[in-house]
Amino acid sequence: MGEEIEKRKSDRILEAIKKRLDEKQTIQVEEKKVELVVFTLNDAFYAFYGKDVKEILSVLTIYFVPGTPKYILGIVNVRGDIQSVLNIRTFLNIPEQGLTEGKGRIVIAEKNGVRSGVLVDSVVDVVEVPEESIKQAISTLNEEIRYFVVGETTYKNNNVVLLDIGKVFEKISEGKIEPSAEIPNK
């Protein structure tokens, strides 16, 4: 009888241990990931959401259009479609830097029914990152610039500022681009 009580006691202890182990086990849940197109401007890393990028092109001949706002570099012909090309530096107050021969890229982006090219120095990579790896932008960021920033993440030990191209298009359509922030066309 004493053996049977000991057996039931050990069964209860084993059952309690098993229950605790089951509670401690983490359930593998697939992390939600987002695709980012990582690019550079003056050696700093930036990104757009991959879902907003339709195409990445080598720099084509950009044709200046008289009378356009200074943040529009001009237009390009992409297989018969005419696309405007924006100078994203204007919106981010980044100083102009000449493109290295063969390095520049035009990122064709589309969001909220607006489509345009964006001139960048280079496209570094297209990567998938866990959505939770995108952190809030630093609070010391200039308010005008913060409007365009979704957050920050890292890529190969480099800080990457995630931009919302839709916010750039929104500012353009509202006509709320400050003249002092505009960079003159060349």
185 — alpha (psi -120 to 50), left (phi > 0) or beta? beta
pLDDT score, position 180 = 36
In sequence order, what are the residues at sequence separation of 6 or more whose Cβ sits closer than 8 angstroms to the Cβ of residue 111? 52, 165, 166, 169
Q: The CATH number of the domain where 94 resides is what? A: 2.40.50.180
pLDDT score, position 97 = 74
User: Is residue 25, in this structure, part of any structural domain at all?
Assistant: no
User: Is residue 186, in this structure, part of any structural domain at all?
Assistant: no
Dist CA 21 CA 17 (whole Å): 6
User: Is residue 172, in this structure, part of any structural domain at all?
Assistant: yes
pLDDT tens for residues 82-127?
999 999 999 998 888 765 555 799 999 999 999 999 999 999 999 9
DSSP state of 68: S
Q: Report yes or no: 118 and 39 within 8 Å, Cβ to Cβ.
A: no
Q: pTM above the 0.85 mark? A: no
User: Is residue 102, in this structure, part of any structural domain at all?
Assistant: yes
Hey, what are 7's tokens?
Answer: 């057996």
pLDDT score, position 36 = 97
User: Is residue 12, in this structure, part of any structural domain at all?
Assistant: no
pLDDT score, position 98 = 66
pLDDT score, position 1 = 58
Of 22, 48, 28, residue with least CA distance to 125: 48
Query: C-alpha angle with apex 52: 153 to 131, nearest 5 degrees?
Result: 30
pLDDT score, position 145 = 85
User: Is residue 26, in this structure, part of any structural domain at all?
Assistant: no
Q: Give the total number of structural domains in the chain.
A: 1
In sequence order, what are the residues at sequence separation of 6 or more whose Cβ sits closer than 8 angstroms to the Cβ of residue 183? 70, 71, 87, 89, 90, 96
Domain coverage including residue 164: 33-181
User: Is residue 7, in this structure, part of any structural domain at all?
Assistant: no
pLDDT score, position 182 = 40
User: Is residue 165, in this structure, part of any structural domain at all?
Assistant: yes
Grouped pLDDT means (10 residues each) for the chain, 186 residues: 65 75 61 94 94 94 92 93 94 78 86 94 95 85 85 94 94 66 39
